[in-house]
Structure 1
Amino acid sequence: MTGLSRRELIGAAVAAGAVGSVPAMAAIAGGEALPALFQRRVGEAGLPGAAAVLIRPGEPPRFLSAGHASLPFQVPVSPATLFHTGSVGKHVTAVAVLRLVDAGRMDLGAPIGRYSAIVPEAWREVPLGTLLAHTSGIPDYGGDIAWDRPFGRAEFIADAGDRPLAFAPGTAWSYCNAAYTLAGYLLEDVTGQSCRALIADLFVRAGLRDSRVDDGEAVILGRAEPYEKRDGAWFHATPMSTSISSVAAGGILMSPRDIPAWKAALAGDRLLSPASRAAMATPFRFKSGRPSFYNMGWTIDALPKERAFRWHTGSVSGFRCFNFESRATGVAAMLFINAETDRHRAIGVGLVEAFAPGSTPLALRPIADNDPARTKAARSIITRTEPWNTALFAPELRVVVERFGDEAIDIISEEARPVLAFDLVQVERRAGLFRRRYRITTDLGASHLGVDYTPEGLIYAMKML
């Protein structure tokens, strides 16, 4: 769940350079330097408060905190502070759906019209699983949503109306909060319980003591206050109504101290079957057979030698979150910030790399570029320095580019942030497909772009980290 446009979100990816150079991060990796590193990064970003938890198998979790959960009352952030996780909570919704799949009550391949009478007629044949992969074609919310005004099921259906699908289900990818909100309504209709009750049961089963579905209008003990910066000063962010702050698109409050138990529950048999856990870690496949980079609340990626990792960010009014897991090493992390900022991905990726060097693309070094023409084309697309040539795109990407224009791809404005270097750092070939990963350096530092190609050399996916 996010209050930012796709264009605004790219600021988070560009700001990944705020973590500093790779050698500097490696030099302070691990040990007692981590708290000082965290305090410094949060201080450099001028954030009111932040917390993080870092997990490595066989070791006690590391909890880090900086700043304040409440500025006027000077309440410090602690491991028990509750933060809104925004879209990081999408994987929680996916777990709730998969539990019903495990119980035989839902089927990822079944049309969503089977599970609810509220579904607009044009959407009834959309497969359930495509909601969780952002490949359903369901259009996202229309217009601007007022965070502090009610937007419940009735408003959702009125907003959806008779709007047609943006593309045929399973043929393309487009991030869609509305799809996850709808998944929550389907959960309620299938079970007869509120989504809030279903998530509460999940958290009890996982042994969590603080985490819960949010209630934007309630007084909740230990919840951080949300902030936004205006004219160089911090103000309280626009308050969210309960009907928006609690939807299944990411309406979760979590504390850092709950995260080790939550991740342990996800990795074991307490919540999901082995088959569902495997499905959650596997990229969705388009109808073309090509793999997406996303599924069930996770962006799924890999470093060279198939070192798999996955991540997700969250953005809502006054909060940011970054979630990370390395399937190759078991390293995991979550970062929480009680402010609107573009630096959550930056701080999160840099913190993980400092804690476990080699876990993120920050560890990759530039390599020889044997196809500079392809690199030039990728740079032109991501910086929008010239009109896009849609002939460069495979159908999975072309359809959303033609429909949504600049909103279809995270782009960097050369005018706002000149690109100082565009270096190839990874080339991977697998099952006839291949990926090239680039490090994009601006005055803020480095971010990373993954570009996926068909055997014919057409681009079918582009993703920033």
Structure 2
Amino acid sequence: MPLTPLPRPRTRSRTGARPRSRLRLTLVALAGACCLGGLLPAPAAGAAAGGSGGEGGRALQRQLEQLVSTPGGPPGVIVVLQKGGAPRVLRAGVADLETGRPIEPTDHMRIASTAKAFSGAVALRLVQQGALGLDSTIGRTLPKLPRAWRSVTLRQLLNHTSGLPDYSEDPEFVELLQADPRRTFDPRRLLDFVADEPLRFRPGSRYRYSNSDNIAVALMAEAVTRRPYEELLRRIVYRPLDLRRTSLPLGYEMPEPYMRGYAVEPPAPPEDVSEVLSASGVWASGGIVSTPRDMTRFIRGYASGRLTSKAVLREQRRWIEGASEPAGPGRNRAGLGIFRYDTRCGVVLGHTGNFPGYTQLIAATPDGRKSLTVSLTTQVNKALTPGLLERLRAVEENAVCALLGGHRH
């Protein structure tokens, strides 16, 4: 595939050259080394949170401050809770360690694998319109992809039961990133890295989270509409939901203002990695840039089925055992481009994500009337920081309780 080096970093980036060992660590995490399948129980929870106001909200605020002060914890965290009126914003730490600026709901950030929910939104809208079917196959829609993959369906791609090998784990792909992290990939050729590999298992027989799945979803959407995926996002998702600060770039630069993402590996000081990697290497699987405000709007519309029909929504919510990456709060189960999180205080639907410098959770009640977003300015997952992930999941569950009122539903 054609590969074009990107220009030298801008002076405002302040990222500098990264030590090779630390870069390798973040790339291993980007590759999704920890593919979680099956039932994941809720971690032991910290202090219980009650309603979104009063003691529950104060308890959650204390937990965010404790998370930021934890060794290896994020330099900043922001939580947006919305029940129908004005959103409530809780935050701790800062958006920029150099200036001390606080995080704002309008700050840009890398949304990581929550971008997979966007590809789900595009695909399910096309299903509703009849341009695609959940049983549409790779062989019929994308005949140039490997013949061994031809029986994989859109449904299996959306719920990660396809068996497609994960291109982001491919040694050649990782080597190219290590050699030039800001390299611009042709995102429509990412699956070439694994085109000579067989399926990992018979399609539909098991769950395994794969970044290849959502690349294939976007390519199928392009094939049946003959429109670029970026245009489909604007027409199907951004405009209907009024997402004004959301985009899918191919480069490494972040739009201003943005919360800076950091690699936090004590005893070394936090290192700004906001613009270390090009988004082209993850594209429809994790390349979108957005803000907490836009993500709140997105998940409220997406979880409620506003972008599709009741019939398609029923298909989306056929749950199987499987966890998002990183695991979300409570018990995780997978649907089509969405996950169900069963917590001690009730059920929310959404997605998580992690990328060097950022960790995300977006979730809403099935009717979309109550929502939460949780954004951290460092990467947290089972491969890098398993202890911190369990602590984060407890905080996320307490945020759900703050949203839903702190009692079991």
Q: Would you say same fold, with TM above 0.5?
A: yes
Q: 1:66 to 1:108 in 2, by over 3 A?
A: same
CA RMSD of aligned residues (A): 3.4
| Stretches of structure 1 lacking an aligned partner (at least 5 in a row) | 287-291, 365-465
Q: Which residue identity lines up with residue 317 of structure 2 in the other structure?
A: A
Aligned equivalent of 2:339: 299
Residue number among 68, 78, 84 corresponding to 1:42 in the alignment:
68
**Residue equivalent to 1:163:** 197
Whether the 8 Å CA contact 1:206–1:270 is kept in 2: the answer is no
Give the aligned partner of residue 236 of structure 1. 272
**Pair 1:213 & 2:284 matched:** no
Name which of 238, 254, 265 aligns with 2:301: 265
Instruction: Describe the shift of the 1:175–1:350 C-alpha distance in structure 2 as closer, same or farther (beyond 3 A).
Output: same
Contact 1:29 1:355 in 2 (8 A): no
CA contact (8 A) 1:283 1:295 kept: yes
State the alpha-carbon separation in 1 of the partners of residues 279 and 262 from structure 2.
18
Shift of 1:273: 1.5
Per-residue deviation at 1:48? 1.4
- Indicate conservation of the 8 Å contact 1:116/1:190, yes or no: no
Of 145, 160, 165, 1:134 maps to: 160
Q: Which amino acid aligns with 1:322?
A: L
SS in 1 for 2:182: coil
3-state secondary structure, aligned to 1:179:
helix
Aligned to 1:370: none
- Provide the aligned length of Structure 1 versus Structure 2: 348
What does residue 345 of structure 1 align with? 393
1:40-439 equivalent positions in 2, closer than 5 A? 40-44=66-70, 46-56=73-83, 58-141=84-167, 142-143=170-171, 145=174, 146=177, 147-153=181-187, 155-201=189-235, 202-232=237-267, 233-237=269-273, 239-245=276-282, 247-266=283-302, 270-284=306-320, 293-302=333-342, 308-327=347-366, 330-341=369-380, 342-343=388-389, 344-358=392-406
Pair 177,267 (structure 1): closer, same or farther in 2 beyond 3 Å: closer
CA deviation vs aligned residue, 1:74-106 (integer Å, no higher than 9, x gap): 332101011212112211110100111111111
Richer in strand (by share) = 1
The Cα of 1:191 is off from its aligned counterpart by: 2.0
In structure 2, the gaps of 5 or more residues are 1-26, 323-331, 381-387
The one-letter code sitting in structure 1 at the alignment partner of 2:244 is R
1:230-260, Cα deviation, whole Å (9 max, x unpaired): 3421012271113125x11122222122234
Read off the aligned partner of 2:281 and give its amino acid letter.
I
- What is the CA-CA distance between 1:26 and the residue it aligns to? 4.5
Partner of 1:456: none
Higher mean Cα deviation, 204-213 or 77-86? Answer: 204-213
Per-residue deviation, 1:16: 5.0
Partners of 2:348 and 2:266 lie apart in 1 by 38
In the TM superposition, residue 319 of structure 1 has moved relative to its aligned partner by 0.7
Asked if the contact 1:53–1:259 (Cα under 8 Å) also holds between the matched residues in 2, the reply is no
Q: Find the structure with the greater CA-based Rg.
A: 1
Give the aligned residue type for 2:116: K
What is the rounded CA distance, in whole Å, between the counterparts of 1:90 and 1:223 in structure 2?
21
Give 3-state SS (helix, strand or coil) of 1:222's partner: coil
Say which structure, 1 or 2, has more relative contact order (CA 8 Å, 6+ apart): 2
Which string of whole-angstrom CA distances, capped at 9 and with x for unpartnered residues, describes residues 101-129 of structure 1? 11111111121222223311111121111
CA offset at residue 154 of structure 1?
6.2
